[in-house]
């Protein structure tokens, strides 16, 4: 089972909830949602949203979640062409196109979108995607708590002949993804790759600085030699400081 999480679900939970989501299957995040989370870490309307967004950017790199970025235009999208859409409407459209593409590319999988956005749910329901089920965050949390499969999930699974595995055991605190104290860099594109940024390593900074200085000196010396070979050779013959003989 592949679980797709969007912005309203992220903002309605905390790190413990996000960890629990992974108990149901592989978790995915539309790229447009990740971009919006990054935006909220700097310009959220409320302090609560900013705090949750920052916590999510710390959670994501070691979570095992993956970014999905491919989109497919919705069949009814031409109706909206030329319309002046709000930022939220554009975000929901981006999520819908990402989920639509993801569902089409995984016909053998049960895709579960977790969202509390009614318009997004309505938009995707019109597509009649056989292997897509949509539930709100509270139903997902209740499923994890009680083990009872939501009716929508059960019906969709039966329609596409998919067997739902029970949630994996609840992880202990030692299994929880490491929540870093420092904020994640805002230019991370695919945080799920868990790549360390070399620029954060002090040793790398020192080595990089020394290499840059050496390269600059070599470049200056080569240029000097090409322009005035005799002057360059005279410079090389000069005694080092402290080596000149006292008279």
CATH number for the domain that contains residue 121: 3.40.50.1010
Return d(Cα 226, Cα 219) in angstroms, integer: 11
> Per-residue pLDDT for 173 more than 50?
no
Contact in structure between 68 and 111 (CB atoms under 8 Å) = no
Residue 35 backbone dihedrals phi, psi, to 5 degrees: -60, -40
Q: 150 and 231 share a domain?
A: no
Same domain, 47 and 154: yes
pLDDT at 190 over 50: no
Pick the more confident residue, 210 or 9.
9
The better pLDDT of the pair 60, 169 is held by 60
Same domain (yes/no): 210, 105: no
Same domain for 167 and 215? no
Q: pLDDT tens digits, residue range 65-97?
A: 999 999 998 887 655 555 567 888 899 999 999
In percent, how much of the chain has pLDDT > 90? Answer: 44
Please check whether residue 209 lies inside any domain of the structure.
Answer: yes
More confident residue, 236 or 17: 17
The predicted-structure confidence for 136-149, as pLDDT tens digits, reads as follows 999 999 999 998 99
- Kindly state the average pLDDT of the residues 113-121: 93
Q: Is residue 184 within 8 Å of residue 55, measured between CB atoms?
A: no
Q: Are residues 64 and 181 in the same domain?
A: yes
40-44, 131-135, 185-189, 221-225: the lowest-pLDDT one? 185-189
Q: Note the pLDDT of residue 205.
A: 54
Of 192, 187, 194, 186, nearest in space to 67 by CA: 192
Say if residue 131 is in the same domain as residue 210.
no
Whether 18 and 95 share a structural domain? yes
196 pLDDT more than 70: no
Position 156 confidence tier, pLDDT thresholds 50, 70, 90: very high
Cα–Cα nearest to 185, from 177, 195, 172, 175: 195
Please compute the mean of the pLDDT values over residues 167-181 and round it to a whole number: 50
Between 22 and 219, residue with greater pLDDT: 22
- pTM for the model stands at 0.67
Q: What is the mean pLDDT of the chain?
A: 79
Residue 206 has pLDDT above 90, yes or no: no
Compute the distance between CA of residue 192 and CA of residue 217 in angstroms, rounded to an integer. Answer: 40
Range of the domain at 223: 200-237
Pair 133, 231 in one domain? no
Helix axes 87-105, 31-43, angle to 10 degrees: 150
Do 116 and 206 share a domain, yes or no? no
pLDDT band (50, 70, 90) for residue 25: confident
Number of domains the chain is built from? 2
Distance of CA 9 to the CA centre of its chain: 15
């Amino acid at each position: 089972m592949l679980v797709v999480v969007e912005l309203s679900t992220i903002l309605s939970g905390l790190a413990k909830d996000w960890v629990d989501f992974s108990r149901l299957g592989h978790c995915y995040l539309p790229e447009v949602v990740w971009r919006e989370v990054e935006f909220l870490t700097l310009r959220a309307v409320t302090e609560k949203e900013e705090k949750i967004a920052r916590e999510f950017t710390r959670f994501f790199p070691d979570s095992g979640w993956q970014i999905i970025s491919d989109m497919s235009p919705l069949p009814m999208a031409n109706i909206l062409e030329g319309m002046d859409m709000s930022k939220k409407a554009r975000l929901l459209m981006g999520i819908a196109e990402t989920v639509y593409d993801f569902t089409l590319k995984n016909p053998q999988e049960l895709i579960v979108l977790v969202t509390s956005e009614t318009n997004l749910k309505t938009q995707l329901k019109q597509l009649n995607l056989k292997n897509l089920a949509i539930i709100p965050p509270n139903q997902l949390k209740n499923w994890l708590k009680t083990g009872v499969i939501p009716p929508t999930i059960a019906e969709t699974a039966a329609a596409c002949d998919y067997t739902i595995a029970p949630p994996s055991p609840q992880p202990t605190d030692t299994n929880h993804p490491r929540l870093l104290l420092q904020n994640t860099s805002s230019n991370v594109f695919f945080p799920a790759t868990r790549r360390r940024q070399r620029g954060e390593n002090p040793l790398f900074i020192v080595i990089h600085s020394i290499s840059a200085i050496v390269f600059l000196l070599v470049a200056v010396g080569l240029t000097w030699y090409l322009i005035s070979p005799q002057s360059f050779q005279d410079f090389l013959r000069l005694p080092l400081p402290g080596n000149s003989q006292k008279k």
